[in-house]
């Protein structure tokens, strides 16, 4: 038995098995991530008319001839387009509008402090981090808003006197 434990063949077999387990785990993880992204894109496409306010003639949304880039599933950074109590629409990369679902567990940050949905205004920059849902939205876990810098206030100049 001790000869078997010290055997070079056993070491090679164990390393090979461990490598196969790691590779199959990485493959399963990749498949899981791919399925989640595909599910998000399918939900986004199925809710296209709700997100953009119209459905083309014929009843079914159609993909454009040149496919536009799909929105990111786990987050978006861009300008706030509209705000309601439960959703925010953000125009992200390439001006693709993404619906963001806000729940009671969504953390909203404004600068270094906390914020509320009432602090989010159109034309503000915002970064959203969350998870895709079945409706083509992002369930926001964190929304960080960036307040617009205020223009500098002109200071009154003291009167100049000439003698």
Q: Is the pLDDT of residue 16 over 90?
A: yes
CATH 3.40.630.40 fits 1-53+71-148, yes or no: no
pLDDT tens digits, residue range 89-122? 998 877 888 889 998 899 998 877 888 888 889 9
Whether the Cβ atoms of residue 125 and residue 145 lie closer than 8 Å to each other: yes
Domain locations in the chain? Answer: 1-53+71-148
| Mean of the per-residue pLDDT values of the chain | 78
Angle made by CA atoms 26, 28, 31, in degrees to the nearest 5: 110
pLDDT of residue 54: 53
Q: Is the pLDDT of residue 135 over 50?
A: yes
pLDDT of residue 107: 92
User: Which has the closest alpha carbon to 130: 71, 45, 80?
Assistant: 71
- When pLDDT is averaged across residues 28-49 and rounded to a whole number, the result is 77
Alpha carbon distance 73, 77 (integer Å) = 12
pLDDT of residue 48: 61
Q: pLDDT category, 66, cuts 50, 70, 90?
A: very low
pLDDT of residue 30: 92
Structure letter (DSSP) for residue 99: E
């Amino acid at each position: 038995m001790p000869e078997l434990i010290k055997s070079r063949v056993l070491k090679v077999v164990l390393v090979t098995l461990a490598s196969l387990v790691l590779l199959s785990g990485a493959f399963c993880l990749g498949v899981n991530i791919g399925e989640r992204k595909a599910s998000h894109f399918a939900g986004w496409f199925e809710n296209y008319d709700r997100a953009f306010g119209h459905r083309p003639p014929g009843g079914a949304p159609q993909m454009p001839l040149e496919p536009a880039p799909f929105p990111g599933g786990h987050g978006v950074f861009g300008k706030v387009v509209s705000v309601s109590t439960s959703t925010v629409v953000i125009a992200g990369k390439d001006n693709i509008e993404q619906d963001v679902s806000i729940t009671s567990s969504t953390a909203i940050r404004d600068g270094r402090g906390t914020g509320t949905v009432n602090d989010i205004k159109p034309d503000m920059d915002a970064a959203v981090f969350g998870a895709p849902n079945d409706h083509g939205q992002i369930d926001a876990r964190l929304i960080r808003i960036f307040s617009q810098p205020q223009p500098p206030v002109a200071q009154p100049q003291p009167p100049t006197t000439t003698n």
